[in-house]
Structure 1
Amino acid sequence: MAAIKIVSFGFLHAPPPEADVVLDLRRAFRDPHTDPRMRELTGRDRLVRRTVLRTSGVRRLLAATVRQVQAYTEGPSAERIIIGSGCAGGRHRSVVVADKLARRLRRRGHTVTVQHRDLHLPVVQH
């Protein structure tokens, strides 16, 4: 079974060039950054997690991504797959989706590592 690495990132800091699959969470999903209560929080905070996961379409995207990863890992030469989970700054949506995706894939027996590449960076103004 292929090793899976998920990298959360901000498009404003550039996507990871090594990613095999990139999830772009900027347009279709509610941005916690627009709410002053959540702007300084991250995807590790409960309020942000709940807000992102309650956004219409996020759970369907997670399910579709799990199916896509399954297809990639069934290939005969699949040793490792890298998934990028990106939002504008890399602190909110991308983190929540990366963590939730990792949990779903681990439940299916995959070895998954998660790197929150831009989580430590200052809040971007967009």
Structure 2
Amino acid sequence: MALTDVRLVSFGYLHGAPPAFAHLVLDLRHHFRDPHVSPDLRHMTADDLPVRQAVLGTPGIRELIGATALLAEAFDAGPAESPLNIVVGCAGGRHRAPTVAVALAKRLGKTGITVHLGHRDLAKPVIDR
């Protein structure tokens, strides 16, 4: 195994640019429905089951998680031992990005890759827009 570990960070673009250390950036803002638009989900986070169900039930999200896991495994197959940094972003960093990051971390963990997961903006207040 070439990867020593994967650092996986979720974030919100409305709180700043993606972390500069990223090798792979997943931008979920324009292709996947934002739970923020639902008043009943707006003030919840990825820690809440209804948000996770809404995000993971979005068409294409599970396929994106699988494809990203394959990308990480492709890096793992390379000859150099080096950490891989993946960042996952959405608008506010409270719904889509952390949900996808957790699901990706679980999937990668099942392959034996060590995953270090963090959420830059999950605990920040809702941005009204």
- Which band: TM-score by shorter chain? over 0.9
Name 2:12's counterpart in structure 1.
10
Counterparts of 1:36 and 1:65 in 2: how far apart (Å)? 30
Q: CA deviation at 1:77?
A: 1.6
Name 2:41's counterpart in structure 1.
38
Counterparts of 2:51 and 2:30 in 1: how far apart (Å)? 17
* Amino acid aligned to 1:110: I
Q: Secondary structure at the match of 1:38?
A: helix
* Amino acid aligned to 1:69: A
Deviations along 1:50-88, whole A, 9 cap, x unmatched? 000000000110110011001112111241001001000
Name 1:108's counterpart in structure 2.
111
Counterparts of 1:10 and 1:77 in 2: how far apart (Å)? 31
TM-score, normalised to structure 2, is 0.94
Q: Does 1:61 align with 2:64?
A: yes
Name 1:51's counterpart in structure 2.
54
Counterparts of 1:78 and 1:87 in 2: how far apart (Å)? 30
Identity percentage of aligned residues: 49
Gaps of 5+ in 2: none
Q: Does 1:72 align with 2:83?
A: no
Q: Which runs of 4+ in 1 moved over 4 A?
A: none
Instruction: Say what the alpha-carbon RMSD is for the aligned residues.
Output: 0.9
Deviations along 1:20-44, whole A, 9 cap, x unmatched? 0000111111111000001010011
Name 1:29's counterpart in structure 2.
32
Q: Secondary structure at the match of 1:5?
A: strand
How many residue pairs get aligned? The number is 126
